[in-house]
Amino acid sequence: EAGVVQSPRYKIIEKKQPVAFWCNPISGHNTLYWYLQNLGQGPELLIRYENEEAVDDSQLPKDRFSAERLKGVDSTLKIQPAELGDSAVYLCASSPGAFSGRSDTQYFGPGTRLTVL
Amino acid sequence: GQQVMQIPQYQHVQEGEDFTTYCNSSTTLSNIQWYKQRPGGHPVFLIQLVKSGEVKKQKRLTFQFGEAKKNSSLHITATQTTDVGTYFCAWGTYKYIFGTGTRLKVLA
């Protein structure tokens, strides 16, 4: 079974530039999460999708961050414009879907390490 | 609001020694999950505990959920160099909040 796929793995941009991250969850997983992880800290939830619906985006800085999950499968997270403080690892995770009565075990992708100069 | 502390922040052990990390909450938790993240890697799910007083074992790893469901522990017996990494607890329902993690170093 293929795991969660993320791309790119690394991204270096200058501040004020836009950047986008892509995630392909495990096939059949209804729930998709985007997390931000700073060095030495635990993952922090940015947004959670149940199928194509964003059911929890309270932690997403909506002035510069946006996300979408078209057709309830792949997802894209965008930052525009990027700031120096956005440098972090952006993790995508998926789970079968506790919301639908299935397991909420989260399977993480390898992450995208973003460096903003 | 709910506060969950994970301790210790760091732990260095000699290979073969035991290791324990704790998550302590100020309020009752519905469930708790444990993850391991190797250096440079991503979090990998280890286990979920749901019931009061639950104890689960995975080879050298023992997971416990307190009777009051306010604390949990992960114990590793006879650590090996492959146990190196950061161990996170995470709690919630649908939406999980991760602890700050315990970084384990095993000295050969």
Structural contact between residues B36 and B87, judged by C-beta atoms closer than 8 angstroms: yes
Domain range for B9 is: 4-107
Residues 6+ apart with CB under 8 A from A98: A31, A104, B93, B94
Distance, in Å, from the CA atom of A103 to the CA atom of B24, rounded to the nearest integer, reads: 24
Q: What is the CATH number of the domain that holds B43?
A: 2.60.40.10
The number of domains in chain B is 1
Best mutation target among A49, A100, A105, A112 (most B Cβ atoms within 10 Å) is A105
Q: Do residue A104 and residue B45 have CB atoms under 8 angstroms apart?
A: no
Distance, in Å, from the CA atom of A67 to the CA atom of A10, rounded to the nearest integer, reads: 19
Mean predicted confidence (pLDDT) in A68-76: 92
Distance, in Å, from the CA atom of B38 to the CA atom of B103, rounded to the nearest integer, reads: 10
User: Does the pLDDT value for residue B2 go beyond 80?
Assistant: no
Q: Which amino acid is at B41?
A: G
Name the pLDDT band for A70 (thresholds 50, 70, 90). Answer: confident
User: Does the pLDDT value for residue B3 go beyond 80?
Assistant: no
* Three-state secondary structure of chain A: CCCCEEECCEEEECCCCCEEEEEECCCCCCEEEEEEECCCCCCEEEEEEECCEEEECCCCCCCCEEEECHHHCCEEEEECCCCHHHCEEEEEEEECCHHHCCCCCCEECCCEEEEEC
Structural contact between residues A11 and A22, judged by C-beta atoms closer than 8 angstroms: no
Q: Do residue A106 and residue B45 have CB atoms under 8 angstroms apart?
A: yes
Domain ranges, ordered by start, for chain A: 5-116
Cβ-nearest to A56 among B41, B42, B95: B95
pLDDT of residue A26: 94
Tokens encoding A110: 């390898």
Q: Do residue B95 and residue A45 have CB atoms under 8 angstroms apart?
A: yes
Min distance A83 CA to chain B CA atoms (Å): 23
Determine how many CB atoms are found less than 10 A away from the CB of residue B51.
Answer: 10
Min distance A96 CA to chain B CA atoms (Å): 11
Q: Which of B32, B97, B100, B33 is nearest to A35 (CA)?
A: B97
Q: For domain A5-116, give its CATH number from 3.30.200.20, 2.60.40.10, 3.10.20.70, 3.10.180.10.
A: 2.60.40.10
Name the pLDDT band for A87 (thresholds 50, 70, 90). Answer: very high
Cβ-nearest to B45 among A31, A41, A105: A105
User: Does the pLDDT value for residue B1 go beyond 60?
Assistant: no
pLDDT of residue A102: 58
pLDDT of residue B96: 86
Q: Do residue B94 and residue A107 have CB atoms under 8 angstroms apart?
A: no
Which chain A positions have a beta carbon within 8 Å of B42's beta carbon? 91, 108-111
